[in-house]
């Protein structure tokens, strides 16, 4: 009885994961592309350091969502996990997920810290917030994240058709440092502290002699990032706790029903966690009236008009004679 129930739970979980991942991939890709479009199109954002982090995060999120979608689509196509038979895919998917997670989370932390620096009343702190610094930190984040994924690629192997990390030392690192600290408490703590400090700076920015355009932009970005980080904390901590528990207690298929229940809980929590890579645009859009106006401006006044001009230009090239009046048509009959 329990074995039959466990099989039903596992089958439901696989279907749930496939549909939820497909939905998040679709919604998230659209949202991240709109983020990139809005923040790179408007002149107001082009020279802002914090925006460069948001664009980098959006690009990374698209790669992350693509990997997640491929994982579940391949399982649905082959009716089994290809990572259990293909060592290349087993190593690649794990390395890419970790790489994109570290880059995405580091840019969230950097955006909060740079917003604090750019709104600081102290001149020497504001001078640290430069485009050059942003580019250096992004490059350093990418390089360090790539180096960090190398041990995962080495120790990720296939045993009994299961793709995973079976080395005890590496397993301890994942259980006691990577999930609870590196992708859990550390980014949450850094992002929270700097967001609160930036929010306090913005509240006092009215007293300083700051141009009103700059003041409104700082207030807008700080509020957007603060709400983004609150959502980030809510979505990240439950998944990290569950993953830590799975690694520490060595959950396996010896007790199939217990394994199936834990698998279902993990699938629900990973869906919430994956929303981190999909909903930044929608958070900005819902919480900021000014951002909604900016999105409308980009989509309606820029993109729509360009598409319309392109369509009319293409139509004129296809039928050039339609715009040329024949001699007979210009004759006026009395």
- In this structure, is residue 201 part of a structural domain? yes
CA angle at residue 13 from 10 to 18, to 5 degrees? 130
- In this structure, is residue 101 part of a structural domain? yes
Mean pLDDT of 41-55: 83
Do 198 and 238 form a contact (C-beta atoms < 8 A)?
Answer: no
Mean pLDDT of 79-102: 90
DSSP single-letter state for residue 156 = E
pLDDT of residue 245: 79
Asked whether the predicted pLDDT for residue 298 surpasses 60, the reply is: yes
Measure the CA–CA gap between 94 and 109, rounded to whole angstroms.
Answer: 23
Asked whether the predicted pLDDT for residue 53 surpasses 80, the reply is: yes
- In this structure, is residue 326 part of a structural domain? no
Region of residue 122 (phi > 0: left; psi between -120 and 50: alpha; otherwise: beta): beta
How many other CB atoms are found less than 10 A from the CB of residue 54?
26
| First-last CA distance in the chain | 97
Three-class secondary structure of residue 59 per DSSP: helix
Instruction: Tell me the residue length of the chain.
Output: 334
Banded pLDDT at 208 (limits 50, 70, 90): low
Q: What is the pLDDT of residues 255-274, one digit of tens each?
A: 777 888 888 898 899 999 99
Provide the CATH number for the domain around residue 302: 1.20.1070.10
- In this structure, is residue 99 part of a structural domain? yes
Asked whether the predicted pLDDT for residue 328 surpasses 50, the reply is: no
Measure the CA–CA gap between 65 and 85, rounded to whole angstroms.
Answer: 23
- In this structure, is residue 172 part of a structural domain? yes
Asked whether the predicted pLDDT for residue 217 surpasses 90, the reply is: no
- In this structure, is residue 321 part of a structural domain? no
- 158 forms beta bridges with 163
Banded pLDDT at 330 (limits 50, 70, 90): very low
Mean pLDDT of 92-111: 93
Burial degree of 299 (CB within 10 A; 0-12, 13-18, 19+) = middle
Measure the CA–CA gap between 310 and 248, rounded to whole angstroms.
Answer: 58
Measure the CA–CA gap between 148 and 306, rounded to whole angstroms.
Answer: 43
Structure-derived torsion over alpha carbons of residues 107, 109, 113, 114, reported in degrees to the nearest 10: 10
Measure the CA–CA gap between 187 and 43, rounded to whole angstroms.
Answer: 30
**Residues of the chain above pLDDT 70, percent:** 85
Measure the CA–CA gap between 224 and 238, rounded to whole angstroms.
Answer: 23
Residue 61 CA, distance from chain mean position: 3
Asked whether the predicted pLDDT for residue 334 surpasses 60, the reply is: no
Measure the CA–CA gap between 261 and 238, rounded to whole angstroms.
Answer: 16
Q: What's the chain's average pLDDT? A: 83
| Pair type for strands 162-165 and 156-159 | antiparallel
Mean pLDDT of 66-91: 87
Which strand (E) or helix (H) includes residue 163? strand 162-165
Q: What is the pLDDT of residues 132-148, one digit of tens each?
A: 889 999 999 999 999 99
Q: What is the pLDDT of residues 230-242, one digit of tens each?
A: 898 899 888 888 8
Question: pTM for this structure?
Answer: 0.83
Closest of 104, 108, 91, 67 to residue 149, by C-alpha? 91
* Residue matched to tokens 């990390």: 165
Closest of 73, 114, 70 to residue 94, by C-alpha? 70
Measure the CA–CA gap between 25 and 70, rounded to whole angstroms.
Answer: 10
Measure the CA–CA gap between 95 and 103, rounded to whole angstroms.
Answer: 12
Between residues 173 and 314, which one has the greater pLDDT? 173
Domain count for the chain, please give it: 1
Q: Which of 34-38, 110-114, 153-157, 259-263 has the least mean pLDDT?
A: 259-263
- In this structure, is residue 333 part of a structural domain? no
- In this structure, is residue 323 part of a structural domain? no
Question: In terms of residue numbers, what domain contains 253?
Answer: 1-313
**Residues of the chain above pLDDT 90, percent:** 30
Asked whether the predicted pLDDT for residue 131 surpasses 60, the reply is: yes
């Amino acid at each position: 009885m329990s074995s039959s129930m466990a099989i039903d739970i596992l089958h439901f979980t696989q279907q749930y994961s496939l549909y939820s991942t497909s939905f998040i991939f679709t919604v998230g890709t659209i949202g991240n592309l709109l983020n990139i479009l809005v923040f790179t199109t408007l002149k107001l954002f082009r020279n802002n350091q914090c925006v460069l982090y948001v664009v980098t995060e959006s690009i990374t999120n698209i790669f992350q969502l693509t990997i997640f979608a491929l994982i579940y689509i391949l399982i649905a196509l082959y009716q089994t996990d290809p990572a259990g038979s293909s060592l290349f895919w087993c190593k690649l998917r794990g390395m890419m997920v970790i790489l994109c997670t570290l880059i995405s989370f580091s840019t969230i932390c950097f955006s909060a810290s740079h917003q604090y620096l750019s709104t600081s009343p102290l001149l020497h702190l504001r001078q640290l917030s430069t485009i050059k610094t942003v580019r250096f930190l992004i490059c350093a984040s990418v390089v360090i994240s790539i180096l960090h994924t190398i041990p995962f690629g080495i120790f990720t192997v296939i045993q009994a058709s299961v793709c995973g990390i079976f080395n005890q030392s590496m397993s301890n690192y994942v259980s006691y440092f990577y999930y609870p600290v590196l992708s859990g408490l550390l980014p949450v703590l850094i992002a929270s502290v700097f967001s609160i400090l930036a929010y306090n700076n913005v509240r006092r920015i009215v007293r300083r002699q700051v141009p009103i355009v700059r003041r409104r932009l700082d207030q807008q970005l700080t509020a957007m990032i603060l709400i983004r980080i609150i959502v980030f904390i809510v979505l990240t901590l439950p998944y990290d706790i569950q993953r830590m528990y799975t690694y520490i207690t060595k959950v396996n298929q010896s007790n199939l029903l217990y394994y199936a229940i834990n698998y279902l809980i993990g699938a629900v929590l990973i869906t919430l966690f994956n929303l981190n890579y999909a909903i930044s645009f929608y958070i900005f859009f819902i919480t900021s009236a000014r951002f909604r106006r900016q999105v409308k401006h980009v989509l309606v006044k820029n993109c729509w008009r360009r598409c319309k001009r392109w369509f009319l230009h293409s139509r004129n090239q296809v039928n050039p004679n339609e715009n040329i009046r024949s001699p007979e048509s210009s004759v006026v009959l009395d």
